[in-house]
Amino acid sequence: GGLGLGLGLGLWRRQRRAAMAASEEDEDEQEEEEEELRQRFMAPPVSGLRELRRRRRELRSRMELLIMETQAEVCRALAALDPGAAFAVDTWERKEGGGGVSCVLQDGEVFEKAGVNVSVVFGLLSEEAARQMRSRGKSLKAKDGKLPFCAMGVSSVIHPKNPHVPTMHFNYRYFEIEEADGTKQWWFGGGTDLTPTYLNEEDAVHFHKTLKEACDKHDLKLYPKYKKWCDDYFYIKHRGERRGIGGIFFDDVDSPSKEEVFQFVKSCAKAVVPCYVPIVKKHCHDSFTPEEKLWQQLRRGRYVEFNLVYDRGTKFGLLTPGSRIESILMSLPLTARWEYMHTPPKSSKEAEILEVLRNPKDWVH
């Protein structure tokens, strides 16, 4: 009996040591993961790093990693330009499914308000949202009136203090819907566009050329097509002018293949920092007059008008149950102004930008 007990104790000790070693390994792995999170992202991904690793070959996981990385890349580039300010990092959950990470910098030296949001939401599409999609030509076959969906994206609006530094917006997103028969419809959308208060041709050329290079890696037809789409989309009908000097914009893109569209979206996301940060560096210390600041405030008013009246993303967010209103309306500036019947003098720098907003230009040829 003693021998049997001795062997039993020996086995138990070996198992215990192995379990402790495994537990230490788990702890080490967890610490490594947390360190990786700190270095790569602004906050842990909505789906969790382990889950994303487990499903790393799936496009949904790769897209979530891309939007988290893009958020961190942009936030760090902006924070380096405005060292006295810091991003407030706010993680949130949606009770219907999913959540997000909002990073917002307010009242810095350089940026009045800069927000970079990630959201990963899933659940059942609301009837209003489905109606909006059907109006764009989507044939969505619901099962018992229900449409399971998954939507994820990174979205950012940057409003600088100096009127000589333009406002910039970008958004890249992926959408998936499961129809009644189990088939999945998927598509990508997004774009990057610039809204200057005053026109600087050199900056406009740099911005458009950088985006064109990102598009040209994939297909030479993409930049002209998506540049025109951008000019047409960011159009304030009731004013007869564009929101800014454009960039690229696309939606409902589901060909040639999921992988090819993903790689294109990745190139566009990687172009955000190089197309914008050099312009901020160049002008953030320019001197400006109270009149120039007033014109910036009036242009900001136009920005608000477009976002609340026409922007599809804002409308979709407001129609999605459980969506986070603070994150959706993050795109609005901290300050703006609406003056009755304001008209700039002819041949002024203010009139110059209005001319371009009414008649878009080709910046790269």
Q: How far apart are CA 341 and CA 276, in angstroms?
A: 32
Contact criterion met (CB below 8 Å) for 214 and 228: no
Q: Which of 159, 164, 169, 208 is catalytic?
A: 169
Produce one character per residue of 69-80: b if its CB has 16 or more CB atoms within 10 Å, e if not. bbbbbbbeebbe
Nearest to 251 by CA among 333, 132, 75: 132
Proportion of the chain in helix, strand, coil states, percent, rounded to 5: 50, 20, 30
Transcribe 333-360 into DSSP letters.
Answer: -S-----TT--PPTTSHHHHHHHHHHS-
Q: How far apart are CA 195 and CA 279, in angstroms?
A: 12
Q: How far apart are CA 335 and CA 161, in angstroms?
A: 10
Residues in the chain: 365
159 an active-site residue?
no
Tell me the HSE value of 78 on the side-chain side, using a 13 A CA sphere: 31
Q: Token digits for 342? A: 């304001």
Nearest to 42 by CA among 123, 156, 192: 156
Give the strand pairing for 246-253 and 241-242: unpaired
Q: Which residues does the annotation mark as catalytic?
A: 169
